[in-house]
Amino acid sequence: MAELESRLAAVADQVGFRNKLRARWRALPEEQRWAATVTAELLLSILLWLVDHALGYGTLTLFTLIWLHRLEPRLRLAIQVALIAAFAYPVPALAIMFAIAFAVFWVPARHRRWLLPLAALLAAVFYPFYGTHLFTIPVFGAFPDVPTGVYMVVFIMMAVGLNMVVGYAGLLDLGYVAFYATGAYTAGWFASEQFPHANIHIGAVGLIPPNIPGIHFSVWLILPIAGIFTALCGIVIGLPTLRLRGDYLAIVTLGFGEILPQIARNGDSLGGFNLTNGPNGITPLDSPGFGHTLSKATGGFLPANYLTCCKATVLGHHIDSYDVFFWSALVLLVFTVFCSIRLRDSRLGRAWVAIREDETAAAAMGIPLMRTKTWAYASGAFFGGIAGAYYAIVKSGTFPDDFFFNISVFILCMVILGGMGNVWGVIAGAAFLAYLDQFGLGNTGAWLNSNIHLFGWRPNINVPLYSSGIYGAIILIVMLFRPEGLLPSRRRAAELHEGVHDEPLYDHTHDGV
């Protein structure tokens, strides 16, 4: 009784309609909340089943998976076996995925910490072999093909880089597209005929004719050059701007994000020098590869030239150039994630988190604010530059119209959706939004136009035209109902849930303390 009275008192203390509703919901007994939630989920699944059978089954399966961790072990195991058996015949690929995922989650927690990332990495590495044999996702359509996977991995890299700035250090950056553009144009300068008066060749492959004019470096030299040059640009941009805080910092970074694409667009005559080739961009770019010497030394495992390498058939799958591009992008992503995690756990990373939580207190504890913020900005720029350079090489060109403000917001949405400060959450959020941007929205529009009908009326909606509004709605919903993101870091979730309104975490007191 006393506990119920304390809950009702907590409801009365809340300010705002949404907070009162949330507090009133939490004041109910746990059994009532569970019963109401399960009933609502069943009704929603039945309603969606009436629209599309696959969607109804998929929604019910998703709700079942969400509830699994709340069940006692024996019941959980029984439901997992039932799910695998239910999908073994109609959707065998899904049954296999469930079996592997459930087996991993039964591993003890101390081993699961490294086994989950390893399983996800292996699934990604072998994706070209089984991706075309997977099932169709209700509403969203088929799983992405390998070229789309390359696009997704590149944007995941950029999201992980931006997470160092926004998620770790708490610096709102609205001009991240500038680093993406800088890396892409660096690749264009060092792997094309952009500067025909020069004739410098260092490790480039696949040049026809071999003495073609211009600067032609090996791609594996260009990537670190692009990262270092972009990091230096980040330092140059950061030094005059990182003294600002909050909205002022966001406005200044937005300005720089708009300046650099304009330089790219009008850089065909900078004092009479053609730096960027203006609106025409820089194309074509040299193809990547390891050269004949390394390729022969490894028995062809390292391809001499990505564009002419692929003649083998492995496990019934003919390996093509995009498979090799995809695997190379995965190597770069693993490097990015490894560096991000090591930086997060380092002394520098702890300083970033301290600045994010309370800049004044961090300065009082002796953390050099400008130097620490600049390191965050440079680190994020480094990986953004590598991602931009690699994607320009994949497309064999870089154009000023590829870099606009919406890309900065798009990458920021990935970080917010996944969970600021948590690398794994950012990867999940970036993968989902990148897939939506490429094919998901188009497939969703096709599904809506073919499945929704009211008294003979059918919508004729071109969903990709409303992509910006859809992404904005997703972020609005996330910020209102789950501001820490879908997969937040524990520290970030504690900051947002323990504090009260504008009250910092360390000022909050618990009942009875």
| Whole-number Cα distances in Å, 297 to 168, 218, 307, 323, 324 | 42, 18, 19, 21, 18
Phi, psi torsion values for 460, nearest 5 degrees:
-130, 75
User: In the prediction, which pLDDT does 500 show?
Assistant: 40
With respect to residue 439, please indicate whether it lies within any of the assigned structural domains.
yes
> Is the pLDDT reported for residue 457 higher than 80?
no
Beta bridge partners of 141: 137
- The DSSP letter of residue 213 is S
Distance, in Å, from the CA atom of 307 to the CA atom of 322, rounded to the nearest integer, reads 9
> Is the pLDDT reported for residue 211 higher than 90?
no
Q: What is the mean pLDDT of the chain?
A: 84
> Is the pLDDT reported for residue 16 higher than 70?
no
With respect to residue 328, please indicate whether it lies within any of the assigned structural domains.
yes
* Reported confidence tier of residue 243, pLDDT bands at 50, 70, 90: confident
- The DSSP letter of residue 214 is E
Instruction: Between 378 and 453, name the one with better pLDDT.
Output: 378
Beta bridge partners of 318: 313
With respect to residue 126, please indicate whether it lies within any of the assigned structural domains.
no
Residues 232 and 379 in one domain: yes
User: In the prediction, which pLDDT does 477 show?
Assistant: 86
Domain boundaries, position 452: 146-492
Average pLDDT, integer, range 88-95:
86
> Is the pLDDT reported for residue 227 higher than 90?
yes
> Is the pLDDT reported for residue 326 higher than 90?
yes
Residues 178 and 262 in one domain: yes
In which residue are the tokens 């995925």 written? 97
Distance, in Å, from the CA atom of 230 to the CA atom of 501, rounded to the nearest integer, reads 38
Residues 157 and 95 in one domain: no
Q: Cis bond leading into 147, ω under 30°?
A: no
> Under a CB-based contact definition with an 8 Å cutoff, are residues 116 and 128 in contact?
no
With respect to residue 226, please indicate whether it lies within any of the assigned structural domains.
yes
Q: Report which residue type is found at 355.
A: I
> Is the pLDDT reported for residue 502 higher than 50?
no
Residue spans of beta strands (DSSP E) within 16-80: none
User: In the prediction, which pLDDT does 23 show?
Assistant: 77
Instruction: Between 247 and 180, name the one with better pLDDT.
Output: 180
* Reported confidence tier of residue 291, pLDDT bands at 50, 70, 90: confident
User: In the prediction, which pLDDT does 511 show?
Assistant: 45
Task: Name the strand (E) or helix (H) holding 434.
Answer: helix 423-435
Average pLDDT, integer, range 442-461:
79
> Is the pLDDT reported for residue 466 higher than 70?
yes
Least trusted range by pLDDT, from 186-200, 372-386, 421-435, 495-509: 495-509
In which residue are the tokens 């520098």 written? 348
Residues 240 and 352 in one domain: yes
Residues 326 and 470 in one domain: yes
Percent over 90 (pLDDT), the chain: 26
With respect to residue 501, please indicate whether it lies within any of the assigned structural domains.
no
Distance, in Å, from the CA atom of 500 to the CA atom of 37, rounded to the nearest integer, reads 26
> Under a CB-based contact definition with an 8 Å cutoff, are residues 134 and 126 in contact?
no
Percent over 70 (pLDDT), the chain: 91
**Nearest alpha carbon to residue 372 among 358, 362, 357, 384:** 362
- The DSSP letter of residue 345 is T
> Is the pLDDT reported for residue 347 higher than 60?
yes
Neighbours of 361 (CB within 10 A): 13
User: In the prediction, which pLDDT does 237 show?
Assistant: 84
What are the DSSP calls for 468-489, one per residue?
HHHHHHHHHHHHHH-TT-SS--
User: In the prediction, which pLDDT does 14 show?
Assistant: 56
Straight-line distance from the first to the last Cα atom of the chain, in angstroms, rounded to the nearest whole number = 21
With respect to residue 175, please indicate whether it lies within any of the assigned structural domains.
yes
Residues 155 and 73 in one domain: no
Distance, in Å, from the CA atom of 198 to the CA atom of 466, rounded to the nearest integer, reads 46
Distance, in Å, from the CA atom of 287 to the CA atom of 397, rounded to the nearest integer, reads 11
**Nearest alpha carbon to residue 204 among 393, 391, 386:** 393
> Is the pLDDT reported for residue 506 higher than 70?
no
Residues 172 and 104 in one domain: no
Domain boundary among 66, 101, 118: 118
Distance, in Å, from the CA atom of 470 to the CA atom of 441, rounded to the nearest integer, reads 9
> Is the pLDDT reported for residue 480 higher than 90?
no
**Nearest alpha carbon to residue 82 among 66, 69, 65:** 65
Residues 95-107 pLDDT 10s: 888 898 888 888 8
> Is the pLDDT reported for residue 70 higher than 50?
yes
In which residue are the tokens 């941007």 written? 437
| Whole-number Cα distances in Å, 321 to 149, 329, 360, 394, 402 | 13, 12, 52, 10, 23
Residues 121-170 pLDDT 10s: 999 999 998 888 888 888 888 889 899 999 999 999 999 999 999 989 88
Least trusted range by pLDDT, from 60-69, 230-239, 386-395, 446-455: 446-455
174 Cβ contact partners less than 8 Å away, ≥ 6 residues apart: 250, 251, 253, 254, 257, 405, 408, 409, 412
Residues 175 and 71 in one domain: no
Structure pTM? Answer: 0.88
Residues 327 and 371 in one domain: yes
Residues 263 and 360 in one domain: yes
Instruction: State the CATH number of the domain containing residue 358.
Output: 1.10.3470
Q: Cis bond leading into 209, ω under 30°?
A: yes
Average pLDDT, integer, range 404-419:
88
Paired tokens of 201:
């060749």
User: In the prediction, which pLDDT does 12 show?
Assistant: 52
Q: Please tell me whether residue 215 adopts helix, strand or coil conformation.
A: strand
- The DSSP letter of residue 287 is P
> Is the pLDDT reported for residue 510 higher than 60?
no
Residues 395 and 252 in one domain: yes
Q: Please tell me whether residue 270 adopts helix, strand or coil conformation.
A: strand
> Is the pLDDT reported for residue 305 higher than 60?
yes
* Reported confidence tier of residue 442, pLDDT bands at 50, 70, 90: confident
Number of compact structural domains in the chain: 2
In which residue are the tokens 């207190």 written? 361
Q: What's the chain's Rg over C-alpha atoms? A: 26
Distance, in Å, from the CA atom of 414 to the CA atom of 424, rounded to the nearest integer, reads 12
> Under a CB-based contact definition with an 8 Å cutoff, are residues 194 and 277 in contact?
yes
User: In the prediction, which pLDDT does 181 show?
Assistant: 92
Highest mean pLDDT among 28-32, 405-409, 432-436, 461-465: 432-436
User: In the prediction, which pLDDT does 423 show?
Assistant: 92
User: In the prediction, which pLDDT does 497 show?
Assistant: 59
Residues 225 and 160 in one domain: yes
Instruction: Between 300 and 328, name the one with better pLDDT.
Output: 328
With respect to residue 133, please indicate whether it lies within any of the assigned structural domains.
no
> Is the pLDDT reported for residue 329 higher than 70?
yes
In which residue are the tokens 């300065």 written? 363
Average pLDDT, integer, range 354-380:
89
Paired tokens of 51:
């629209």
User: In the prediction, which pLDDT does 504 show?
Assistant: 45
Distance, in Å, from the CA atom of 30 to the CA atom of 273, rounded to the nearest integer, reads 70
Residues 252-275 pLDDT 10s: 888 888 888 888 888 888 877 888
